[in-house]
Structure 1
Amino acid sequence: MEGEIIGKLQTSAFQDCLQQCSKQKKCTAVNFLLGVQEDPVCLFIDRTKEGNESEMPIPESVIYSAVSFCFNQKLSSQCTDSTTWSFERFPNKDLIDDRFAENAEGTISLEKCLTSCLNGKQCRAVLYNEKAAHCRYLNVSIQNVHNAKKFFKRSVDVDLYENNCFPENLIMNIAQCQFIRMQSSGFTEIFDERIANVSSATECEQLCLTWDSGNCRYFTYHRGTHMCYLSHTSPRTLNKNPLQNYDLNLSSGDLEDCCKPDRMHIHGASLKMFSGTLMTKNNKIVSCEKKFFHVYEFDAEMMYNECGMQKALSPYLTFSNLVMLKEGSTELITVMDKLLKVVCRIHNDLEIPPVDQHLSFHFRIEDGNITKQMLAKNIQISPQLRSYVTQPRYTMEVMDVNRNPAEVVQIGDEGYLLLTLHEKPIKFSIIDLFARDTQSGKTFTIIDSDG
């Protein structure tokens, strides 16, 4: 952004830059950039006045720029005080398929186009042609598709503005969200926040999951500097390949998806406005009805232990259900109604303990019916192997310093872990290996999630 520089702020967080600018009347724009010493700097800009061109940073050093945008807070309940910006501009972007867009009537200004999007329940982004003053509202955006190249193309006259106030209804935590981890690659020049004194890539990932300034979609950790870089956007969104930035000190994670381990999540989208009911049907028993009125997209969640969910343990853990999508214009069954069989299957590499597993034990009972001790110190569990598991795929043994199986390990003893593979996998790696103290319950990391 160009204009008169009215102040500077040394900060490692883009949101601090925006918040400080909003407190100054003359600040109408900011530039968040890396300084000469590679330290993040925020420049406060007054765009109403012409600045000294020699004082402006070179475009390559600017991480993000922002301009003030005013709208009626009452008209946009989705934008809260914690929202650091309302829209993100992606220049020269247009839709490949117009079925995801709705045209605004007539010619309107950019400000009115953006404000109308904030008022809409399904508007994730807008496309605006400044020359034609033409606005289109989108129910897709760059951040919520897996491959942006399949949805968006380059355009000379059209810019995309992504709605950052759109409610994601997403809880970020390690149990629900999965990152695609990459070693020896990452980005340290594009970030929303840089955090110092971070001990590991795992801690950096945790900081990404608990980030309270938006949805953290990408992180990079530098082992040499112990810096953690958090970003709201993925390199895939910016058409950047992390492998082109090779560095042995870097570890990175790209947010792939967030799911819920205790329930099914059904998402639907319609080309035409939809009103109707989503329900489950089992032996003519209808349960868990959820109604929708005048929507283009809808979501429903079904707990695994509710809604007549069918559970099967063999040959692998599976949850299934019949889901009916009933169009609401009539009570009669029509061609617009759908009956879906939904199945959620636990990955077949996960071995589920058999239902008939039993515990063998003996007690010595003396006078007064007081239990003094067990006859056997070892508790033996006798499982029945599945038909598809003929033998363990791998076994791990604790060996002493002489490479003999260890019966008892004392604190300070030297030894080895012997891992034996009984199959020949194409690829095998060991991550997240922990030891647990049975008395205190504390866990100790032997091999972390980076291997």
Structure 2
Amino acid sequence: MSPSCDRAWMFERVVGFELDGFDDMVINKVPTKTRCQELCVKEKGIQCRSAEYDYEMQQCRLSREDRRTQPQSFKPSVKQVDYLENQCAGHPSSYKCDYEANESTDLGRGDLQVSSPSEAQCRKLCDDTSVFNCRSFTYFPATSMCRLSGDDIVSAGQQSLTATPGAVFYQKAPCLDRQSRSLSLPVSK
């Protein structure tokens, strides 16, 4: 699949889900999910942040939105559809992504664990990593341990959070466009 990026994985797949109301492009007669992913990565007309592949209709739907920019529209599908999130699509420079802190909480898993003298440095490591999309981190001040993760509550689920005294779990809040200061609204059907 080309073009490529320097991420460890290019797409996250969620079986049986879709982003309802945000289809910017619909392409029919797409034979495979892999071809749909290729169309998303190569699309020049929009920045394709996510796609959906309908196996029965052999249809690929491309979107400039994703499950984090439009969480209220990320829903189970009644059809045989896979949601495909492009890990190579970054946010434009006009977007600001803040973190939400959860005291005495841990996600319980990570993709990279490193020593870090401060929460600020741990946050910078999460922001600067290019191997995967760092969506959350847990900082353990007592041991100066920083655990970075490609998951957040959206992908791992609320039930994955565990009470961990002394730990602080941070996840990226929905990124807002500083120019418009709002999230997009769904297209009515």
Which residue, out of 2, 9, 13, partners 1:89?
13
User: Deviation at 1:241?
Assistant: 5.0
For residues 147-296 of structure 1, the aligned pairs below 5 Å read: 148=71, 150-155=72-77, 157-170=80-93, 177-189=97-109, 191-195=110-114, 197-240=115-158, 244-256=161-173, 265-266=179-180
* TM-score (normalizing by structure 2): 0.77
Instruction: Tell me the percent identity.
Output: 22
Output the CA distance in 2 between the equivalents of 1:259 and 1:127.
23
- State the distance in 2 between where 1:222 and 1:232 align: 18
Q: Identify the structure with the greater strand proportion.
A: 1
What is the rounded CA distance, in whole Å, between the counterparts of 2:132 and 2:43 in structure 1?
A: 20
CA contact (8 A) 1:188 1:229 kept: no
Q: Distance in 1 between matches of 2:117 and 2:185?
A: 46
With normalisation by structure 1, the TM-score equals 0.36
Structure 1: 4+ residue segments shifted above 4 A: 257-260, 267-272
Where do residues 306-317 of structure 1 align in structure 2 (5 Å cutoff)?
Answer: none
Measured on the aligned residues, the alpha-carbon RMSD in Å equals 3.2
Q: How many residues align?
A: 183
Q: Which has the higher contact order (CA 8 A, sep 6+)?
A: 2
- Alpha-carbon shift at residue 184 of structure 1 (Å): 0.3
SS at match of 1:115: helix
Q: Which amino acid aligns with 1:92?
A: G
Instruction: Provide the rounded CA distance (Å) in 2 between the counterparts of 1:151 and 1:169.
Output: 21
Aligned to 2:31: 108
Give the distance between the partners of 1:225 and 1:133, measured in 2 at CA: 51
Q: Is the 8 A contact 1:143 1:233 kept in 2?
A: no
- Quote the offset at 1:126 in angstroms: 1.3
* Paired residue secondary structure (2:28): coil
**In structure 2, C-alpha distance between the alignment counterparts of 1:224 and 1:178, rounded to whole Å:** 24
**8 A Cα contact 1:143 1:237, kept in partner:** no
1:127 Cα deviation from its structure 2 partner: 1.0
Unaligned runs of 5+ in 1: 1-70, 273-451
Gaps spanning 5+ residues in structure 2: where? none
Deviation per CA, 1:363-402, whole angstroms, max 9, x where unpaired?
Answer: xxxxxxxxxxxxxxxxxxxxxxxxxxxxxxxxxxxxxxxx
Between Structure 1 and Structure 2, the one with more helix by share is 2
